[in-house]
Structure 1
Amino acid sequence: MTGTQPQPPSEYFFERYPWNNRAVLFCLALLMACSDFLAGPVVFFPFLFVIPVALMAWNCGLRTAMWLGAVLCTIRFCIQYAWGIPYAFHVAVINAILRLGILFFITFLCGKLSQQTQALRARVRTLEGLLPTCAHCKDIRDESGEWQQIEEYVASRSEVQFTHGICPKCAAKHFGHVMNREEKKDAED
């Protein structure tokens, strides 16, 4: 029985609400674009664009973050055009392409780091820490306080599948009388 377990709350503040909500991040990006407009055409790299794009890459996926980065760079180019580009048009285009490339690179790094972090968390979470186990039946109490058989608990959190058998010590302890009868029967034959 392999079921997915609920994810524990994140230890990082930027993975919790409101920073993991797409609508909030789009509003934050819009706020950054407005502040970029108010800053004027002199700011060469809109470093504030990195914040919503990196959060989007971490929490919502790389593709969405790339689109947001492209939209923000287009807005920045339009803002520069509205303010009056202080240099030649081809220089402004090259500037925009460089800005977009840098933003995409940062976005890519954040997205990949997020994927690796989630994979490592899942791997570490598989079986870690102290397991509250019943001293008598060996059932395990899970995070929600429910008791599960050890086989179910381990199988739901790892790639392990169980088979069962009886070790010689337990066979002698629990089935010794049956084994003794069979040995006597074999000796008589």
Structure 2
Amino acid sequence: MTGPTLQPPSEYFFERYPWNDRRVLFCMALLMACSDFLASPIIFFPFLFVIPVALMAWNCGLRTALWLGAILCLIRFCIQYYWGIPYTLPVAITNAILRLAILFFITFLCGRLSEQTQALRARVRTLEGLLPTCAYCKDIRDEEGEWQQMEEYVASRSAAQFTHGICPKCVAKHFSDVVSPDEKKDAGAKH
């Protein structure tokens, strides 16, 4: 029985603290919304909303990121309303819906890419690194120091399945008294 494997630290900076903490990302989003408000009605930075939402989708899940994106779009609409919308209300609502749709699309892409990346990492991580192997019987020592047959070790950590047979070289070497001379010649010719 094997225990849970420890996740190695990520090589990507945006998957480590503070970029993977929901509270930090939410505070970052609110800080960007405040800077959007303080910049006046003429200058605004809605593209900055993509940063915390994309990080949230990558590190914390798609649903959380979609909620954050919706909240940020609502805050942006309220800021425009507070400053006095420079165009008609239907145009402002259309802009808000477009902003929300684009932000949701980017969030969805980041979330799906994160899921696929995690799945690929899990597949790669199953059998990587150095394997301590017995020079005689080829058993492998696991993380707890227990020795396991190579087939058992690999099968428990991957989707690989083993079948067994005897290669022609081993047939000729180990079963020479049972194998006919013609079969020995065929076995030797294959190598």
| TM-score normalized by the length of structure 2 | 0.77
Match of 1:113 in 2: 113
Distance 1:126 1:84, change over 3 A: same
Larger displacement relative to structure 2 (49-58 or 116-125): 116-125
User: Matched residues in 2 for 1:127 and 1:75: separation?
Assistant: 47
Rounded to whole Å, the distance in 2 between the matches of 1:122 and 1:74 is 37
Q: Which amino acid aligns with 2:34?
A: C
Cα deviation 1:50-108 (Å, max 9, x = unaligned) = 01000000011111100000000000000111111111111111110011011001101
1:137 positional shift: 4.0
Residue type of the partner of 2:59?
N
Give the structure 1 partner of residue 6 of structure 2: 6
2:108 aligned partner, one-letter code: F
Amino acid at match of 2:106: I
Gap change, CA 1:47 and 1:96, over 3 Å in 2: same
Q: Distance in 2 between matches of 1:28 and 1:48?
A: 10
Change (3 A) 1:4 1:157: farther
Gaps of 5+ in 1: 174-189
Task: Give yes or no for contact 2:36–2:45 (8 Å, CA) kept in 1.
Answer: no
Identical aligned residues as a percent: 80
Q: How does 1:90-101 map to 2 (within 5 A)?
A: 90-101=90-101
Please state how far the C-alpha of 1:43 moved relative to its aligned partner.
3.9
Deviation of 1:41 (Å)? 2.0
Matched residue, 1:26: 26
- Name structure 2 gaps, 5 residues minimum: 175-191
Q: How far 1:131 sits from its partner (Å)?
A: 2.5
After TM superposition, give the deviation of residue 136 of structure 1 in Å: 3.1
Report SS of the residue matched to 1:87: coil
String of CA shifts for 1:134-153, please: whole Å, max 9, x gaps.
Answer: 213433345x5734413443
**How far is 1:2 from its partner?**
6.2
The corresponding residue for 1:126 is 126
Please, what TM-score do these two structures have when normalized by structure 1?
Answer: 0.78
Q: Is the 8 A contact 2:36 2:44 kept in 1?
A: no
- The corresponding residue for 1:146 is 145
Asked if 2 retains the 8 angstrom alpha-carbon contact of 1:62 and 1:107, the reply is yes
How many angstroms apart in 1 are the aligned matches of 2:144 and 2:2?
19
Q: State the Cα RMSD in Å.
A: 2.8
1:122-181 Cα deviation digits (max 9, x unpaired): 122222354232213433345x573441344313311245688999969x97xxxxxxxx
Residues 127 and 157 of structure 1 are in contact (CA less than 8 Å); yes or no, is this contact kept in structure 2?
Answer: yes
Counterpart in the other structure of 2:158? 158
- Pairwise mapping of residues 24-103 of structure 1 onto structure 2 (< 5 A)? 24-43=24-43, 46-103=46-103
Corresponding residue pairs, total: 172
The answer on whether the counterparts of 1:41 and 1:80 sit within 8 Å (CA) in structure 2 is yes
